[in-house]
Amino acid sequence: MFFVRTAGEQDLEKVRALLRETWHATYDHIYGADKVSELHASWHSLASLRARLTKKNAEFLVADDGRAIGGMGYAAMSTEMTKTVMLHMLYVGPRYQRQGVGRDIFAELETCFPDAEIMRLEVDPQNEPAIAFYKAHGFVEVGRTDNNGPGQSGIPTLVFEKPLVNN
């Protein structure tokens, strides 16, 4: 059984390995292994992950069973959009998918931002399992972009939003 908790410095190597495995399993058939390795090295460096740990108005979570990190999530309040939290990362290791790990991480992230009214995310249009997951959790498509991430990546994404119910 996995427990969702705040990530720490000691988790970063395992998180990076989880991201490498998950990205290759998800995106190799779309972009090719070389491009996925390049994106992973850039977007998921230890320095990049470490910066997320200390960012204000953000949450970096892991699903931990005491032996392995089965999933991770990262969200932060938007600096451009009022009362909007951006779900930047939600990944579950391939062998742990469809076991409720992603659902549990997502449920925790939803509660971490009491001032947020909207959760927003971007997802690859070819990542059908992720799109199905987000739709099942109340997200609707509100737009698209042709360049996800920094620079002119050429990586298209769909933009999804979900209203948050604050208690």
Averaged pLDDT, groups of 10, the chain, 167 residues long: 94 95 92 88 90 94 95 95 94 94 94 94 91 95 79 78 80
pTM reported for the whole predicted model: 0.91
- Residue 88 CB neighbour total at 10 angstroms: 16
Give me the amino acid identity at 82.
T
Which of these, 154, 132, 133, 159, lies nearest to 144 by C-alpha position?
A: 159
52-79 burial by CB neighbour count: b if 16+ within 10 A, else e? bbeeeebbbbbbbeeebbbbbbbbbbee
pLDDT of residue 167: 45
Q: How far is CA 73 from CA 29, 110, 132, 146, in A?
A: 23, 11, 17, 24
